[in-house]
Amino acid sequence: MIYVFVKLLHLFSVLIYGGFLFTDNLILMRMKKTLSVEKYDEVRGYFAKFTRALVPKALVVAVITGLYLFYVNFGSIENGFSNFQILLSIKGFLGSWLGLRGVLQVFFGIQPFVFKGHLLPFVLVIIIVFLSQIMFSV
């Protein structure tokens, strides 16, 4: 029962974080092309104000629950890693990197030296979702 609860919590928090990245990269970037600079800054400010309260916490929950799910699903290593374990490890590394980057940036104010926008995290989330869908069938 705990596994199901943690998995649902993980999915919900990933949807919040992924939805934020989707909105930021695909919707707000389109608005930038049609709105004036002042109006775009105003809309972006409202978006930032409302997402700062929820998205970082959702990211932390996604990473913590993801680590638990990684621990439960990884299994034992016999004769090297299985294809499932390799894909799960890649997914875990990317998710942990996103979580570490997000926590350092939001909670400690440490800005990344490269990839200051949300495009790379958005691409990594898409890769993680893709890995999630194929890792059980390889």
Give residue 108's pLDDT: 85
Q: Please say whether the beta carbons of 105 and 112 come within 8 A.
A: yes
Number of H helices, E strands in the chain: 6, 0
Number of domains observed in the structure of the chain:
1
User: Scanning the structure block, which residue is given the tokens 């374990």?
Assistant: 85
**pLDDT tens digits, residue range 32-89?**
888 899 999 999 899 888 888 899 899 999 999 999 999 999 988 888 889 999 999 9
The type of residue at 37 is: V
What is the CB neighbour count within 10 angstroms for residue 90? Answer: 14
User: Scanning the structure block, which residue is given the tokens 């978006």?
Assistant: 47
Range of the domain at 98: 2-134
